[in-house]
Structure 1
Amino acid sequence: MTRSVVRRPATVADAVRDLAELGADGAPLAGGTWVMRAPLRGVPVARVYVALDGLAELRDIRTGDGVVEIGAGVTHAELAAVDGPPALAGLVEAARRSAFPAVRSVATVGGNIAAVGFPEADLVPALLAADARVVLATPEGERTEDLATYLASRPGRPAGELIVRVVVPVPAGRRSAFERLTVRGGGEYAVASVALSVDLDGATVSAARVAVGGVEKAARLSSAAAAVLVGSPLDEATAERAGQAAANGCTAREGLDAPGWYRLAVLPALARRAAAALTSTPDDQQE
């Protein structure tokens, strides 16, 4: 069995320097929930892990001018406890329902985003629907990247790059929700999930983002589903049509937990349930 070395940098800058120096021999280590499953996935462990759990600068949640910034080291449990605006509700719900308590207490936002080969990651579709952007620390300094762009290029990301936080816009009037389906119950990976984020002009949807998780190899936005919602009232029937539009545009993966046809078949119901979560509790959506 390969024995890895763990480095403990004092700052994010030190971590970036270590990762750049190590190149293919190094990897970041935060909660470790995905790294510890590497042998089960047939993935070799890294020779050196750069531990991030001691970096307080990755653990902040800050509210700014129309945005919420969430540190990459924030755990699912910490995110699930956030009392944020309605625009953040879908992300908070995704964190609250992911895995089970022992995992939520250590799994991190950054780890969920960076995990390659983890289509069931609950935070990713919620972040996509929320129009989140990823802030990366590199040897040349920080830069911000669209989350969808980052996800598409994960296997080839350069050494020395580290997710430090995500920036989520939370404009007034925006609402969000998240729904997932597992085979047996809590604690399992979702066979499919849907995240909705909508802007309302009265009772009419003026803008929408719909993301699907668990169905394909990686979560992604569905522009066809969003188009169904825009210009219509936010009701369950419209949301179900949006879910069907999302299903029509997906090529579902096969798996031991669920066949591809089933992942597609449940998307309309998940979209309907997400819309119901937004429309049935108006008091919870007040700013």
Structure 2
Amino acid sequence: MRPETPPEILLPATLGEALASLGERAAAPLAGGTWVMRAPLRREPFAPAYVGLSRIPELSLVEVTDDAIAIGAAVTHADLANALAGFPEFAGLRLAAGSSANPAVRSAATVGGNLCTADFAAADLVPALLCLDATVELAGPAGSRLIPLADFLAQRTGLLPGHILTKVVVARTGQRTAHARLPLRKAGDYPVAIVSVAMRVDAMERIGAARIAVGSVEATARRWTGLEDALLGEPLDGARTTGIAGSLLASFNGRDGVEAPGWYRVRVLPALAGRAVASLVAA
């Protein structure tokens, strides 16, 4: 069997050039490449051409203002974790970026790649950003627009052709955040399940607002709205959260995979939710 013809790699210097290249060829965007390079292992073909984003400066920026943080799509997990040091309100997102996969992957894998790869259900950054109510900026031939992350995830296979995700925007609200994941081993594995939380608490340490997102359990990460509602007015207590979460699992349909069956992914969610909330007590 003849080897597959290597794909063409294009390296535009501007976003406009990148979008034009996408339109002229049957090309796909390429950032860190950690998912693309394993395509042969998944028995998937490469695209005929890839448009590299590494030379477009604005895609690798993390910009922090008093109101929000804007994260370029080509920012790596490692760089994001470093950029968020000193911002306790983003402790959950920083942990997600700094604990995903392994150091080699974190130094290459990008924020945009995590969000755009629809077939990768175990992406740590997706639930971490979902619970922060993030929005994404999508650039295309007609200009740029902001889309809530939840809407983007539901429609990304239809939205992405001919477009490039350029950045993620998260408002700064002073909430407490946490991220809990269960890998099969201590490092290097995709997580079996992920729970990310963002909460506001009152002076009595009772939960006044909660956003909780679950990843790696189903094909697409999503909010756990039943648990969010059930925790309102409850004390910020990990054990109590675990107990409440245990009665709210019926809405999940866990995906089976080589690393874990679906039922197990669902079963560990209460403990992960409790662990995440417990970490907020000292925050």
Indicate the TM-score class for this superposition, using the shorter chain for normalisation.
Answer: over 0.9
RMSD: 1.4
Residues 196-215 of structure 1 correspond to what in structure 2 (within 5 A)? 196-202=197-203, 203-215=205-217
Q: C-alpha offsets along residues 249-287 of structure 1, whole Å, 9 cap, x if unaligned?
A: 2100111111111111111111111111111x33xxxxx
Quote the offset at 1:156 in angstroms: 1.9
What is the CA deviation profile of residues 30-70 of structure 1, one whole-angstrom value per residue up to 9, with x for unaligned ones? 10001111122232211010001121111111112321111
In structure 2, C-alpha distance between the alignment counterparts of 1:208 and 1:245, rounded to whole Å: 18
Superposed, which structure 2 residues align to 1:17-96 within 5 Å? 17-22=20-25, 25-81=26-82, 82-96=84-98
* Structure 1 residue 4 corresponds to structure 2 residue 43: no
Task: Kindly indicate whether the alpha-carbon contact (under 8 Å) linking 1:222 and 1:246 is maintained by their aligned counterparts in 2.
Answer: no
Mapped to 1, the partners of 2:18 and 2:200 lie a distance apart of 39
Equivalent residue number for residue 260 of structure 1: 262
Distance in 2, matches of 1:140 and 1:246, equals 43
Q: How far apart are residue 21 of structure 1 and its match?
A: 2.5
Query: Are the counterparts in 2 of residues 20 and 159 from structure 1 also a CA contact under 8 Å?
Result: no
Alignment match, 1:285: none
- Cα shift readout 1:176-233 (whole Å, capped 9, x = no counterpart): 0001001122111001010001112221211111100110011111110111222211
Change (3 A) 1:274 1:9: same
* Partner of residue 132 from structure 2, selected from 117, 130, 133: 130
Counterpart in 2 of 1:232? 234
Partner of 2:148: 146
1:38 is paired with a residue whose SS is helix
Q: Which residue of 1 aligns with 2:167?
A: 165
Tell me, in whole angstroms, the C-alpha distance in 1 between the residues paired with 2:156 and 2:44. 15
Quick one: distance in 2 between partners of 1:44 and 1:6? 15
Question: Does the alignment pair 1:250 with 2:257?
Answer: no
Residue of structure 2 equivalent to 1:180: 181
The letter of the residue matching 1:72 is A
Q: Distance in 2 between matches of 1:102 and 1:132?
A: 26
In 2, the alpha carbon distance for the partners of 1:106 and 1:243 equals 35
Q: 5+ residue gaps in structure 1?
A: 283-287
AA aligned opposite 1:212 = V
Q: Which runs of 4+ in 1 moved over 3 A?
A: none
2:13 counterpart letter in structure 1: A
Letter in 1 for 2:191: A
Q: CA deviation at 1:242?
A: 4.9
- Residue 195 of structure 1 corresponds to 196
Identity %: 47
Separation in structure 2 between the aligned mates of residue 169 and residue 127 of structure 1, nearest angstrom:
11
Normalised TM-score (structure 2)? 0.94
Q: CA 1:242–1:151 in structure 2 vs 1: closer, same or farther (change >3 Å)?
A: farther
What is the CA-CA distance between 1:26 and the residue it aligns to? 0.7
Aligned to 2:19: 16
Equivalence for 1:111: 113
Structure 2: stretches of 5+ with no match in the other structure = none
Paired letter, 1:107: A
Q: How many residues align?
A: 278
Q: Larger deviation: 232-241 or 88-97?
A: 232-241
Supply the distance in 1 between the matched residues of 2:234 and 2:57 (Cα, whole angstroms).
44
- Retained in 2: the 8 A contact 1:237–1:272? yes
Rounded to whole Å, the distance in 1 between the matches of 2:207 and 2:78 is: 31
